[in-house]
Structure 1
Amino acid sequence: MKVALVVNSSSGALMHRPDAAVELADKLRAAGLEVEAVLGGDSSDIVERMIQARDLPVDVIVTAGGDGTIAAAAAALVGTDKALAPLPLGTMNLLAKDLKIPVDLDAAIAAFADAEIVSIDVGEVNGHKFLCNSMLGVPARLAERRERNRLQMGLMGWWKHGLATLKAMYRYPPMRVGLDLGDGPIFLRSKAIVVADNAYDEGFGHVLTRSHLDRGELTVYATRRLSIWPLARLATRMALGRWTQDPDLETHHVRSLIVTSRRKLLRVMLDGETRLIRPPLRFIILPKALKVLRPRQIAPAPELEDAA
């Protein structure tokens, strides 16, 4: 299998590894992959390097970086015959986990050597692509804060971030937005709205994980109220894997969605990266628009057809 390696040296996991591109290329070759090109650099020209990699005579684009690197790759590869292979070098690695890619770097590279290419859905809002979820309200503000302080996080930093999350969910004023699910807008006041590419799994230990990535739908989760006791109940149900049954959580399955607001700009988190977007926010799902590399499964789910 011929691959191109695109490295974002300014991502947190690679910032202090000056020879990361050479090191990763050597590991890929040792695993039996044909590395046709190594495109190193920082985030300043990541989009241009992704486009350059896309136009090379390769089968797969291996990305080394965080969520922003994966998002840039997805934007360049949607609708093409090139597959994305994300190395788990970000903070959350949500897509890698959903694809069952090992979080250990060497194990992930070894898994790529015996992998399959499948097609997954891609979400889009006002032209911006996302592979896992888009969040509004408290989650977007907290993600921006985490990104500003990620280099000083450490164990104590994550503890403080967790406390800040609880305080923000309690104190942050709710947004007043309109949700048009296809039958006209409904208005609600909410502190957190999540639009996911396909539904999240339920069950103990399955928080923000998805087994199905190609059902062609967006799943909308919106909180109705988050005072201290409903918040505690929702957190407990999330830990137990029964959080979608919470009475203060709305869930909708749609192909498209429009979010309206009186605000001039809405802070939106796309796969961990925050940006300001002018409403209305027009969400759509692009069914099976992106090819990805995942470890070969003994009994693949029937919804994920081999697109190789």
Structure 2
Amino acid sequence: MVIVLNAGSGRSDADATERTIREILDAAGRAHEVLRIERGVDVAQIAAQAVRRAQGCQGAVVAAGGDGTLNAVAQAVLPAGLPFGVLPQGTFNYFSRTHGISSDTAQATHALLRARPAPVQVGLVNDRLFLVNASVGLYPQLLQDREAYKRRYGRSRLVALWSALVTLLHAHRPLRLQLECQGRQQSVRTSTLFVGNNGLQLQQIGVPEAGLLAQGQLVALMLRPVGTLSMLGLMLRGAFGRLGEAEDVLRFGFERLAMRPAAPRRTARVKVATDGEICWLRAPLHFRVSPQPLWLLMPMPQDRVEPA
């Protein structure tokens, strides 16, 4: 196992986390190597290095971090077709929780020793992979502001909620988009386009189309332009698992969706969030299900935990 450990993920001590992982793998006689991501280090470079090491020994690549770290490592693992393991260290851990992987490092490491590869659906926006979601518009801004608040006040769900409230209190210009889906074109105005690939997250906010993921589709949510109070109301509906009841939310499943600004410049770039990480992609954006699955090291039934 080649383990990519993000020393900055979550609230745990990275040294203690690495020590726990090594002790368990050493006791089991499992060959392993830990590559740490420290502040200022290029995650993509470390992930590519891990893939080369795993290919050289016919091994697996394991990501120890939050959803953003998992995304970066999976981006390198997917085209290589290697087994992909997860040791969750983040705040929300939607991907790992969906697949029954414990957030306790020792428990998750023990489960890795017995895990078997299983295919898992992956979403793509242009050439960028996403495991949980991808979005444009207001949602990426919420994520950007959330990270700023976390750096200042620490990582917790309460800090994430507070930063979202502050962001929503500021006015945001709606997007004018041209969409093409299943041969049909449509012009829309929306505050955000959110594409989900995680059943747990969609279920928690009350989106009934979450079941379409099991049919090889992605799920799109678009919010009609509304005022601040209405936006806060939508946020509360999502927090209580009732977003699917809101009239201002358009929801649909798809396999392929093309999106571009209604009046794009020749070199138009769009701010996109994939699994909590912000990047800029050139329009048009093409959302689709990856033709190649990710081979996740899935816990055995006795090692699975129910999502909290």
Distance 1:167 1:148 in 2: 12
Give the 3 Å change call, closer, same or farther, for CA 202–84 of structure 1 in structure 2. closer
Distance 1:217 1:47 in 2: 28
AA in 1 matched with 2:275: D
| Cα drift, residue 216 of structure 1 | 1.7
- Could you tell me which runs of 5 or more consecutive residues in structure 1 were left unpaired when the two chains were aligned: 301-308
Distance 2:299 2:207 in 1: 21
* Equivalent residue in structure 1 for 2:300, among 296, 302, 306: 296
AA in 2 matched with 1:162: L
| Cα drift, residue 121 of structure 1 | 1.1
Q: Which residue of 1 aligns with 2:188?
A: 188
Aligned partners of 2:149 and 2:160 also within 8 Å: no
Q: Which residue of 1 aligns with 2:290?
A: 286
- Give the 5 Å matches for 1:30-179: 30=27, 32=28, 34-42=30-38, 43-44=41-42, 45-154=45-154, 159=158, 161-170=160-169, 171-179=171-179
1:268 maps to 2:272: yes
Distance 1:152 1:187 in 2: 39
Aligned partners of 1:179 and 1:185 also within 8 Å: yes
| Cα drift, residue 231 of structure 1 | 2.7
> More displaced, 269-278 or 209-218?
209-218
Q: Secondary structure at the match of 1:225?
A: coil
**Post-superposition CA distance 1:207-262 (Å, at most 9, x none):** 89968865321111111133244334423432342322321111111111111113
| CA RMSD across the alignment | 3.2
For these two proteins, the number of residue pairs brought into alignment is: 294
1:29 maps to 2:33: no
Give the 3 Å change call, closer, same or farther, for CA 165–236 of structure 1 in structure 2. closer
**Post-superposition CA distance 1:169-214 (Å, at most 9, x none):** 3522211112211233212221121111265676668789968865
AA in 2 matched with 1:28: L
TM-score, normalization by structure 1? 0.81
Distance 2:153 2:224 in 1: 31
> More displaced, 62-71 or 116-125?
62-71
Give the 3 Å change call, closer, same or farther, for CA 219–210 of structure 1 in structure 2. closer
Q: Which residue of 2 aligns with 1:5?
A: 3
Give the 3 Å change call, closer, same or farther, for CA 266–240 of structure 1 in structure 2. same
TM-score, normalization by structure 2? 0.81
Q: Which residue of 2 aligns with 1:304?
A: none
| Cα drift, residue 12 of structure 1 | 5.3
Give the 3 Å change call, closer, same or farther, for CA 92–82 of structure 1 in structure 2. same
Distance 2:151 2:284 in 1: 34
Distance 2:215 2:226 in 1: 30
**Post-superposition CA distance 1:61-93 (Å, at most 9, x none):** 211233343122212221444221111112321
Distance 1:198 1:97 in 2: 10
More helix by share: 2
**Post-superposition CA distance 1:79-131 (Å, at most 9, x none):** 44422111111232121111111112222222223333211111111211111
- Give the 5 Å matches for 1:206-221: 214-221=214-221
Distance 1:79 1:48 in 2: 11
AA in 2 matched with 1:165: A
